[in-house]
Amino acid sequence: MRAHILTITLNPTVDYATTTPEVTAGLKLRCSEPQIDPGGGGINVSRAIRQLGGQSTALVAIGGATGAHLLQLLALEGVATVAFQGPGETRQSVSVSEDTTNEQFRFVMPGPSWGEDDVPRALTTVDQATGDGTLVVLSGSQPPGVAKDFPSILASHVAGRGANLIVDTSGPALSTLAEEPREAIHVLRMDGEEGEELAGAAHPTARDTADFAEALVARGVATHVIIARGADGSVLSNAQGSWHAVGAPVKVVSKVGAGDSFVGAFTLALAREWPIERCLQFGVAAAAAAVTTEATRLCDRETTERLMENCRVTPL
Q: Please give the pLDDT value at position 219.
A: 93
If one counts the domains in the chain, the total is 1
Taking a C-beta distance cutoff of 8 angstroms, is the pair 54, 268 a contact? yes
Q: Please give the pLDDT value at position 286.
A: 96
CA atoms within 13 A on the CB side of 50: 21
**Which residue has better confidence, 66 or 117?**
66
> Which one-letter DSSP state was computed for residue 90?
P
> Which CATH number belongs to the domain containing residue 174 in this structure?
3.40.1190.20
What band does 1 get if pLDDT is binned at 50, 70 and 90? very low
Q: What is the mean pLDDT of residues 123-127?
A: 90
CA dist., res. 12 & res. 68, Å (int): 12
Provide the residue range defining the domain that includes 307. Answer: 5-315
Q: What is the mean pLDDT of residues 2-19?
A: 88
**Which residue has better confidence, 184 or 38?**
38
Is a pLDDT exceeding 90 seen at residue 261? Answer: yes
Is a pLDDT exceeding 70 seen at residue 168? Answer: yes
Taking a C-beta distance cutoff of 8 angstroms, is the pair 308, 281 a contact? yes
Q: pTM score, two decimals?
A: 0.92
**Alpha helix segments (H runs only) across the chain:** 41-51, 64-76, 118-129, 150-160, 171-179, 192-199, 206-218, 258-271, 276-291, 301-308
Cβ count near 310 (within 10 Å):
13
Is a pLDDT exceeding 80 seen at residue 177? Answer: yes
CA atoms within 13 A on the CB side of 120: 3
Q: Please give the pLDDT value at position 190.
A: 95
**pLDDT averaged over the chain?**
92
Active site residues: 260
For the chain, the 3-state helix, strand and coil shares in percent, each to the nearest 5, are 35, 25, 35
Is a pLDDT exceeding 50 seen at residue 2? Answer: no
Q: Please give the pLDDT value at position 295.
A: 62
Q: Pick from 167, 126, 175, 127: which is nearest to 147 by CA? A: 175
Is a pLDDT exceeding 90 seen at residue 251? Answer: no
Backbone torsions φ then ψ of 43, nearest 5 degrees: -60, -45
Is a pLDDT exceeding 70 seen at residue 31? Answer: yes
